[in-house]
A = this chain, B = another copy of it.
Amino acid sequence: VTADEPPLDYGFLADALDAADARAFVHVGDADADLRYLSRLPDTIDEYGFVYTDGEATLCTSSDADCDDGSVVETFSGQVRRESPDDPVGTRVVAALADYGVSEGATVLVPRQLPHDAAVYLESAGYDLASTPVVGETRAVKSEWELDRLRAVQRAAARGVERARSILADADVRAGTLHWQDAPLSTERLRRQVNATLAAEGVVDVTATRIRHGTDPARTPVKLSSGTPVVVSLAPRGRHGYYGTLTRTFVVDSDGGWERRAHVGVESARRVALAELEPGASLRWVHSEAVAEASSFGLPASDGDRVSGVGLARREAPSLADDAAVGHVVALEPSVTDDDHGSVALADLAVVTEDGCDLLVECSTSLVP
């Protein structure tokens, strides 16, 4: 939340209420992406509520809810109600609705992931709940401010990939095993170095960083070998809550075998996906065209291969079932996998524009570190 952040326009909620003949929209949580979009708050320790009715947005927090970072709720553009943390958020939301004159029997729109106990409090107070996907649909289209935040975290991801590349480039091979700074280089050691770079670039969550090596199990640290694909897969979350998505594959001392062919196929699939992604294109079509391209090299697509929206959640609208629209930010993640060699994967974020799409951040796809 920064001073330059424009206030959120809640008009889409007013439209959804009109369309459903509903009186209010309610959400409750502490870290849900829809709720963070509505409140512009980071993850909180305590649950809080969001209420929208009669054109007015209100946060129902406890006196404790913002203690973690006291200045945060001051940046919310609507009303803030502070009540005792001893009352469940559900009862505080019901009290707010009553104060706003929303009477029993009214329809209240809620997202499908509203916590069950909040739903029970609302229903016990006589409201009819109806589920709405409108928040997720609305936040699929990014504002310029959001695109700036996504570019910032994607630039940090590119620095993380560059850190991995430079370590692999500096590594020397002893009896087939990579050594860096005079010690064997493991997936875990590389992961920590990359994560330290991401954190130094301002990233706050590196939970999703994966270093895969050949066919080795993903979560067991293993020493890196020459001639084996090392997949550096990053989905860092920046301090404003937006996720990057960037994957590159490197092979030290490649003998030019399977991984070279796989890399050519995956690069080609990536080009096809970028060429097909444009307003009106079905994401399932973009995905199937990329898979077909990789297949034309005799390479089966791997399970992880996907096309989906990215923003305040690592995966969000649009999904494969949707058509691309201007302002969608989409992860393109072509990959191929092989029982003997492992995987070769690339992933990038692209924003859909009037006449196609643009990569959020450019990053070399070279297989050679």
Residues of B within 8 A of A368 (CB): none
Q: Is A296 an interface residue (CB 8 A)?
A: no
Q: Which residues of chain A from 220 to 243 have any CB-CB distance to chain B below 8 Å in the complex?
A: 220, 237, 239
A196 partner, pick from B31, B43, B69, B197, beta carbons under 8 A: B197
Interchain CB contact under 8 A, A200 and B195: yes
A258, chain B: closest CB distance, angstroms: 20
Q: Nearest Cβ in chain B — how far from A163, in angstroms?
A: 11
Q: How many copies of the chain does the oligomer comprise?
A: 2
Chain B CB within 8 A of A68 CB = yes
Mostly helix, strand, loop or mixed at chain A's interface? loop
Interface string of A166-188 (1 = CB under 8 A from B): 00000000000000000000001
For A303, the chain B residues whose CB sits under 8 A away are 63-64, 67, 70
Whether A219 contacts B1 by the Cβ 8 Å rule is yes
CB distance from A272 to the nearest CB of B (A): 21
Confirm or deny: A261 has a beta carbon within 8 angstroms of a beta carbon on chain B.
Answer: no
* Size of interface on A: residues with Cβ below 8 Å to B: 57
- Is residue A6 within 8 Å, beta carbon to beta carbon, of the partner chain? no
Interface residues of A in 16-52 (CB under 8 A from B): 31, 42-43, 45-46
**Which chain B positions have C-beta within 8 A of A219?**
1, 69, 71-72
The CA-CA distance from A193 to B202 in the complex, in Å, is: 9
Interface segment, one of A93-101, A139-147, A206-214, A354-362: A206-214
Least Cβ–Cβ distance between A3 and chain B, in angstroms: 9
Decide if B113 touches A115 in the complex (CB within 8 Å). Answer: yes
Contact of A314 among B45, B70, B111 (CB under 8 A): B45
The answer to whether B70 touches A218 (Cβ under 8 A) is yes
**A271 close to B (CB within 8 Å):** no
- Name which residue of chain B comes closest to A314, CB basis: B45
Q: Quote the shortest CB–CB distance from A118 to chain B (angstroms).
A: 8
Chain B proximity of A277: nearest CB distance (Å): 21
Residues of B within 8 A of A201 (CB): 192
Tell me, rounded to whole Å, the shortest Cβ–Cβ distance linking A313 to chain B: 8
The answer to whether A304 has its CB under 8 Å from any CB of chain B is yes
Determine the chain B residues whose CB is within 8 A of the CB of A15 once the complex forms. none
A14 on the B face (CB < 8 A): no
Scan residues 235-257 of chain A and give those whose CB is less than 8 A from a CB of chain B: 237, 239
Which residue of the partner chain, among B1, B67, B71, B204, contacts A195 with CB atoms under 8 Å?
Answer: B204
Interface residues of A in 91-123 (CB under 8 A from B): 110-120
User: Is B208 touching A206 in the complex (CB atoms < 8 A)?
Assistant: no
Let me know if A71 and B218 touch, CB within 8 A: yes
15 A–B contacts from the bound complex (CB under 8 Å) = A1-B219, A45-B314, A64-B303, A68-B304, A71-B217, A116-B118, A116-B129, A117-B131, A188-B202, A192-B199, A192-B200, A192-B202, A195-B200, A204-B207, A205-B207
